[in-house]
Chains A and B, each alone.
Chain A
Amino acid sequence: NAGVTQTPKFQVLKTGQSMTLQCAQDMNHEYMSWYRQDPGMGLRLIHYSVGAGITDQGEVPNGYNVSRSTTEDFPLRLLSAAPSQTSVYFCASSSFLADTQYFGPGTRLTVL
């Protein structure tokens, strides 16, 4: 099992550009989530999904969009990048919210 994979590992964007962060898991997990991690702020939940076709907002959803067309994939879209979105982004998956969470290696995003 590859576990949870994220691409790209690093990305630099200019303000106003859009991009998609990819997340995939091969464990047949229903629950997937996206976090951002900033110094001194800990992990903050952006969006989550409890199964294919179902998504919901977390604590900091503004400026981000998600979809879940398959169980395996949960991409995160930045609609119009802003410097405030400079962060490290982690995707996680589990069978359900309270089960063991598996995290991806992260994407380090810089917005200039």
Chain B
Amino acid sequence: KQEVTQIPAALSVPEGENLVLNCSFTDSAIYNLQWFRQDPGKGLTSLLLIQSSQREQTSGRLNASLDKSSGRSTLYIAASQPGDSATYLCAVPSDKLIFGTGTRLQVFP
């Protein structure tokens, strides 16, 4: 049974820092992996979808990497800003979408 975990659970950093959020999955036979952000009181917004054949995917200041063999994905946020404050979730498709436990990020000025 696929299980997805994220560390850390919470992170508080000053503006400008480069960040790494981690996502681990137990079954390496994944089709792809998605990263989402969720702002308080809002729905999820898809940030990046990285296919199983890809090693990296980039969008602006965000870079997601995928290492299937080790069951890990990282989301790198460059030059963090207060507007990046949100909860970040990773998810992998199985018989349904399996979501990670989430990382709550706070970036303070």
Binding site for B on A (CB under 8 A): 4, 33, 42-43, 45, 48, 58-59, 90, 92, 97-106
A-contact bits for B13-48, CB 8 A (1 contact / 0 none): 000000000000000000110101000011111100
Binding site for A on B (CB under 8 A): 31-32, 34, 36, 41-46, 49, 89, 91, 93, 96-97, 99, 101-102
Query: CB distance B46 to A100 under 8 Å?
Result: yes
Which residues from chain A contact B31 at a C-beta distance below 8 Å?
98
Query: CB distance A106 to B42 under 8 Å?
Result: yes
Which residues from chain B contact A97 at a C-beta distance below 8 Å?
93, 96-97
Query: CB distance A98 to B93 under 8 Å?
Result: yes
Query: CB distance A101 to B34 under 8 Å?
Result: yes
Contact of A45 among B46, B97, B101 (CB under 8 A): B97
Which residues from chain A contact B102 at a C-beta distance below 8 Å?
42
Known: A100-B46, A100-B49, A101-B46. A58 touches B96 (CB 8 A): yes
* Chain B, Cβ-Cβ closest to A48: B96
Q: How far is the CB of A47 from chain B (nearest CB, A)?
A: 11
Which residues from chain B contact A48 at a C-beta distance below 8 Å?
96
* Chain A, Cβ-Cβ closest to B47: A100
Which residues from chain B contact A101 at a C-beta distance below 8 Å?
34, 36, 44, 46, 91, 97
Which residue, B44, B49, B91, has most C-beta atoms of chain A within 10 A?
Answer: B44
Contact of A104 among B36, B43, B49, B101 (CB under 8 A): B43
Known: A42-B102, A98-B31, A98-B32. A90 touches B43 (CB 8 A): yes
- A85–B49 alpha-carbon span in the complex (Å): 31
* Chain A, Cβ-Cβ closest to B30: A98
Which residues from chain B contact A43 at a C-beta distance below 8 Å?
89, 99
- Which 7 A-B pairs rank lowest in CB-CB distance, beginning with the nearest? A103-B43, A98-B93, A103-B44, A98-B31, A105-B43, A100-B46, A100-B49
Which residue, A59, A92, A97, A98, has most C-beta atoms of chain B within 10 A?
Answer: A98
Which residues from chain A contact B46 at a C-beta distance below 8 Å?
100-103
